[in-house]
Structure 1
Amino acid sequence: MARYNKIYGGPAEEVKPQVHEAICDTSVLPGTAVVRTAGKFVAAVAASKGRMFVVQDDYLALKDVDTAWPAGDRIIGMELLDEQLFRVRVPTGTSITQDAALTVNAAGKFIPAVAGNHVVAHANETYNNTSGADQLVSVRAAKGYTFA
């Protein structure tokens, strides 16, 4: 069971997050980081450069945040903007502390950044994921390109 039921966390006065649509050749869960390559979305990795997006829940098909978009589907990616909050995937066994710098792993999931990592976001809460499954954690995008 997900800790949150939506990926976009606000603020409520913002009309909508900036969204982009593209085909993704692999199945992907909402809250995963993706980048656009050759017109398609692919899972982001720690070395990814350029605009990063967080996969939105498929609310148009009435799917929840734990239902993956099917491979080959056109998915919705929300651009990580620093004035907005997002709920992102954190792998099981990962401990996140509030204000910690986060990067992404090879599967596009958010993990604590270590020296030399590209910082993608900062945690908005403390959460120790011992649930046995990936969980959603509230974050705010990092401003610009910074390194841990």
Structure 2
Amino acid sequence: MARFNKIFAGPYTEATPQVQERICATAVLPGTALVESGSAFAQAGAASNAKILIAQDNYLALKDVDTAWPANDRVIGMEPLDEQFFNVRVPTGTNVTRGAGLTTNAAGKFVLATTGQRIIMFAEEAYNNTSGADQLVRARKAQGNLASA
């Protein structure tokens, strides 16, 4: 079970993020990274350099953050702004420290960026994911197109 129950985490004074809706050929977990692929969404690949959107929880169907959007469904992708917080999905075995730069793995989940990789998000909390399942970690969009040093 996820530690958080929403993907967009605020702040509450901030207007909700801009969203885009597209069909996605594969099942998508909320909190993972999406990229545009023509007129559709695709799961972001490893260290993606494309524009990243965050898959929102499927609140329209009253689904929780651990329920994947079905394949070939219309998915809501949120456009992160650097002043907004999002709960992004990190795989089990990932030890995140506050301020750590995050990039994507082949499944669109957020992992620690290594030297030379694009930093997409910065962790806003420390969390050692030894839970045995993917977890949501609070993060904020990195400004610009940063590379890990």
SS at match of 2:120: strand
Q: Which residue of 2 aligns with 1:39?
A: 39
Instruction: Give distance in 2, aligned partners of 1:14 and 1:114.
Output: 31
Is 1:74 matched with 2:100? no
TM-score by length of 1: 0.97
Deviates more, 1:123-132 or 1:41-50: 41-50
Question: What residue number does 2:130 align with?
Answer: 130
CA deviation map 1:2-53 (0-9, x unaligned):
1000000001112211111000000010000010011111111234233210
Q: Does 1:104 align with 2:114?
A: no
Deviation, 1:81, is 1.1
Structure 1: which 5+ runs fail to align? none
Contact 1:34/1:54 (<8 A) preserved: yes
**Identity percentage over the alignment?**
60
Pairwise mapping of residues 1-148 of structure 1 onto structure 2 (< 5 A)?
A: 1-148=1-148
In 2, Cα distance between the equivalents of 1:81 and 1:49? Answer: 17
**One-letter amino acid of the counterpart of residue 78, structure 1:** M
Deviations 1:34-87 (A, max 9, x none): 100111111112342332100000001100000000000000000121110000
Cα distance in 2 between the residues matched to 1:52 and 1:32: 10
Contact 1:82/1:143, CA 8 A, preserved across alignment = yes
After superposition, the CA RMSD in angstroms is 0.8
Structure 2 length-normalised TM: 0.97
Conserved? CA contact 1:46–1:118, under 8 Å? no
Paired letter, 1:133: A
Looking at structure 2, the residues matched to 122 and 41 of structure 1 have their Cα atoms a distance apart, in angstroms, of: 23
C-alpha distance in 1 between matches for 2:50 and 2:103 = 14
